[in-house]
Amino acid sequence: MKPEQMEALRIDGSHGEGGGQILRSALTLSAITQKPIKIENIRHNRKIPGLRPSHLSTIKILGKICNAKIDGLSVGSTSITFSPGQIQDIKLQENVGTAGSISLILQAIIPAVALAGKKLELSISGGTDVPWSPTSNYTKFVLGEAFLRLGIKFEMNIKKRGYYPKGGGQIDLTVFPCRKLIPIHLSKRTTKNVKILCSFSGLNQNEISNSIASAKDVLQKQGFSTQSQITEDRALNPGASFLMYSHDSDSINGADELFDPKEEFGKNSTSAFVSSNFGADTNLSDMLVTPLALIREMSIFTVQQISTHLETNLYITSKITGCKYGVGKINSGYEIRITGLETSI
């Protein structure tokens, strides 16, 4: 049966964190599984309910990629129907406007394209490092590593930084077809090797360097070995992004933040990174769920806490794909087990 002939699966957009996460995850899974969906009560619990311009960008771009029929696509809309068509190899050039988050858009479209076995070449302008969103370095070096282990490969060139409020950054992205999804087991961080990446524009270089030195000092006192790279980039307005990350065979962890003149740059990320020795960091955990829900073998990872985004993604993936998952309490954290169904895709 063609997607347009199927009855749309109804999804309550107010569930869990009740924001943009449930929207992005549902749309991605709709495109992958070719199941039409109707999302209602979009951002019901937010101060300004309904779709915002940043959400429209994600929906429009994903709609182009999978030739979707979309109803309710307007700012303020609290209900949309998304009926996906076939995904094809495609080249796109997009501008999300001002500082709309490119990273959040990429979260939705990368797995959709790769798991359809297609290739995407995308040049996209907007916000590369903005509040309430992963930094572009996190997307490239942390999410990129996690997806690669799953069999999802993408290349990302950060050509120009775009900070809030003006944006104007540019990223060139290539997503490659995924031939086979691979289950993962991320149990505990054992490496003591950490990389720090910092990009800044229009700020005092000495202040930035001192912040990185402070972060390295904290890490070294905890027994970590550090490598750091500071890059001054051009941007439309001042800003800076900080990423600390590590990889080993049993873990992928990262912590990032943006420059805030009211706080010590990098302090929060350093504290978060040091305090967690689990298989995945809190932010990565929810990003893993969508592809893991489509693998019939069991995947297991540990995480320090169950975020509302993780809870939301576990809910929405099980609703759309029928995957099974379990959450177990372990010492100071949680273990997540996910098994997809052979018929998921």
pLDDT tens for residues 202-251?
999 999 999 999 999 999 999 999 999 999 999 999 999 999 999 999 99
Q: What is the CATH number of the domain that holds 310?
A: 3.30.1370
Sequence-distant (≥ 6) Cβ neighbours of residue 239 within 8 angstroms = 129, 161, 163, 164, 200, 201, 202, 203, 258, 259
Q: Is 44 a catalytic residue?
A: no
- Tell me: do 267 and 197 sit in the same domain: yes
Parallel/antiparallel/unpaired status of strands 169-175 and 193-201: unpaired
The residue type at 239? G
- Tell me: do 219 and 299 sit in the same domain: no
Of 15, 44, 247, 309, the active-site residue reads 309
pLDDT at 13: 86
Number of domains in the chain: 3
**Considering the domain boundaries, does residue 222 fall inside one?**
yes
**Considering the domain boundaries, does residue 180 fall inside one?**
no
Q: What is the CATH number of the domain that holds 15?
A: 3.30.110
Q: What are the backbone angles phi and psi of residue 258, rounded to the nearest 5°?
A: -110, 155
* Domain range enclosing 76: 1-86
**Considering the domain boundaries, does residue 261 fall inside one?**
yes
- Tell me: do 250 and 292 sit in the same domain: no
**Considering the domain boundaries, does residue 317 fall inside one?**
yes
| Per-residue pLDDT reduced to its tens digit, 120-161 | 999 999 999 999 999 999 999 999 999 999 999 999 999 999
pLDDT less than 50: residues of the chain: 1, 343-345
pLDDT at 47: 82
User: Where does a domain end: 86, 104, 132?
Assistant: 86
- Tell me: do 297 and 329 sit in the same domain: yes
Tell me the Cα Rg of the chain.
19
Cα-to-chain-centroid distance, residue 128: 13
d(CA 195, CA 141): 10
pLDDT at 344: 47
d(CA 136, CA 121): 17
- Tell me: do 298 and 226 sit in the same domain: no
**Considering the domain boundaries, does residue 175 fall inside one?**
no
Length of the chain measured in residues: 345
- Tell me: do 243 and 286 sit in the same domain: no
**Considering the domain boundaries, does residue 51 fall inside one?**
yes
- Tell me: do 266 and 191 sit in the same domain: yes
Cα torsion through 70, 10, 96, 311, rounded to 10: -160
User: Where does a domain end: 241, 275, 309?
Assistant: 275
Sign of CA dihedral 43, 166, 231, 103: positive
State the CB neighbour count (10 A cutoff) for residue 78: 16
- Tell me: do 1 and 77 sit in the same domain: yes
User: Where does a domain end: 45, 66, 86?
Assistant: 86
**Considering the domain boundaries, does residue 253 fall inside one?**
yes
Beta strand residue intervals within the chain, DSSP E: 9-12, 37-40, 69-71, 80-83, 90-95, 120-126, 154-160, 169-175, 185-186, 193-201, 225-232, 239-248, 251-258, 298-303, 324-330, 333-339
**Considering the domain boundaries, does residue 53 fall inside one?**
yes
